[in-house]
Amino acid sequence: MAHDIILVIEDEKDIQELIRFNLERDGYKVLSADSVEAAGKMLVKQLPDLVLLDLMLPGENGYDFCRRLRSEERTQHLPVIMVTARDEDADIVAGLEVGADDYITKPFSPRVLLARVRAVLRRRAVEPEDSADRLVRGPVELDRTRHAVRIDGRPVAMTLSEFRILELLLRRPGVVFSRYQIVDAVHGSDYPVTDRSVDVQIVGLRRKLGKCSDQIETVRGVGYRFRTDAAS
Ligand code: CA
């Protein structure tokens, strides 16, 4: 929405200016910082609506900063989009695991930048995190207390793992979860993580979702998300 305040933390001046130009043209108010230290001082004075966070910064890096935002009550729900070098999947996964909401890879097009910003702001405005016992996303309905899933009102039998994965994705539609986060949600953090074990579960889950199977989107090299565009 226009007049939302966006804090851009980016040490490369050209990119910082490019981001500022495009956001301001779209009606956002932009604050810029060259480092995490500078951003921290700004955050004390004013809480923005969203943070665009470069990961590779002089001094404290973006990962540690994001982890810190999540650990502090005042900033724990502050939307963060990380900005990362292109195709470095490991960086993207690491960023999501410290709590970033989404990511943009450099070089990015202004259209992609604005689309991601709008989507994250919209998502956060609608639901910080849906903690309801009954989750309804389009034809998909999950009832946590009864441990039941319905598609178009028809019950669908799920394994416990499939149910937990679906619940995780439905609680925060549009958010990308890494395979590690998915395993953590299903088995707890002590469980050995293999990409394959998650992928196998997703195959089973998609099969059971039938016509809604494509709402679980594979984000290449990163993980999975429940698509919001098809969920309304
Ligand atoms: Ca940088």
Of the pLDDT bands very low, low, confident and very high (cuts 50, 70, 90), residue 74 is confident
Residues less than 5 Å from ion ligand 1, measured at CB: 11, 54, 56
Return phi, psi of residue 189, to 5°.
Answer: -75, -10
The confidence score (pLDDT) of residue 107 equals 86
Structure tokens at 119: 């989507």
Distance (Å) of CA 193 to CA 94, 147, 196, 197: 15, 25, 9, 8
| Mean pLDDT in residue range 142-147 | 89
Contact present, 150 and 141 (Cβ < 8 Å): yes
pLDDT for residue 19 is more than 90: yes
The confidence score (pLDDT) of residue 60 equals 92
The confidence score (pLDDT) of residue 128 equals 52
The confidence score (pLDDT) of residue 99 equals 86
Structure tokens at 82: 């990380």
Ligand 1 center–CA 35 separation, angstroms:
9
Ligand 1 center–CA 25 separation, angstroms:
23
pLDDT for residue 208 is more than 70: yes
Gap between the Cα atoms of 33 and 65, Å rounded: 13
The confidence score (pLDDT) of residue 231 equals 40
The confidence score (pLDDT) of residue 12 equals 94
pLDDT for residue 174 is more than 50: yes
What SS3 state is found at 52? strand
Contact present, 132 and 141 (Cβ < 8 Å): no
Give the pLDDT confidence of 83-118 residue by residue, as tens digits: 987 567 778 888 888 889 888 988 889 999 999 999
| Mean pLDDT in residue range 60-65 | 93
Ordered structural domains, the chain, with CATH? 5-126 (3.40.50.2300), 134-230 (1.10.10.10)
Ligand 1 center–CA 97 separation, angstroms:
19
pLDDT for residue 162 is more than 50: yes
